[in-house]
Amino acid sequence: MNHPIVRALDGLYLACIWISGIALVIMCVIIPIGVFARYVLGFGAQWPEPIAILMMVLFTFFGAAAAYRAGAHIAVQMLTDRLPPPLRKACAGIVHLCMLALSGFVLVWGLQLVRETMGQTIGELPWLPVGYTYLALPLGSLATLLFVLEHMAFGSQHQRAVVTFDHEPGVAEEAI
- Between 49 and 160, the higher pLDDT residue: 49
Q: Residue 74: pLDDT band by 50, 70, 90 thresholds? A: confident
**Do 116 and 137 meet the contact criterion of CB atoms below 8 Å apart?**
no
Pairing status of strand 121-122 against strand 125-129: antiparallel
Which residues are registered as beta bridge partners of 122?
Answer: 125
Name residues whose C-beta falls within 8 Å of residue 103's C-beta, 6 or more positions apart in sequence: 141, 142, 144, 145, 148
Kindly tell me the number of DSSP H helices and DSSP E strands found in the chain: 6, 2
Among 39-43, 56-60, 98-102, 130-134, name the one with the lowest average pLDDT.
39-43
Cα–Cα distance for residue pair 45/31, rounded to 1 Å: 11
| Predicted structure pTM score | 0.83
Region 88-101: what's the mean pLDDT? Answer: 91
Neighbours of 77 (CB within 10 A): 10
Number of domains within the chain: 1
Domain interval for residue 103: 4-175
> On the CB side of 128, how many CA atoms lie within 13 Å of its CA?
13
**Do 5 and 150 meet the contact criterion of CB atoms below 8 Å apart?**
yes
Region 81-96: what's the mean pLDDT? Answer: 88
Residues 111-140 have pLDDT tens digits of: 999 999 999 988 888 898 999 999 999 999
Instruction: Give the pLDDT confidence score for residue 176 in this predicted structure.
Output: 43
- What contacts 24+ positions apart, CB below 8 Å, involve 111-115? 111/138, 113/137, 114/138
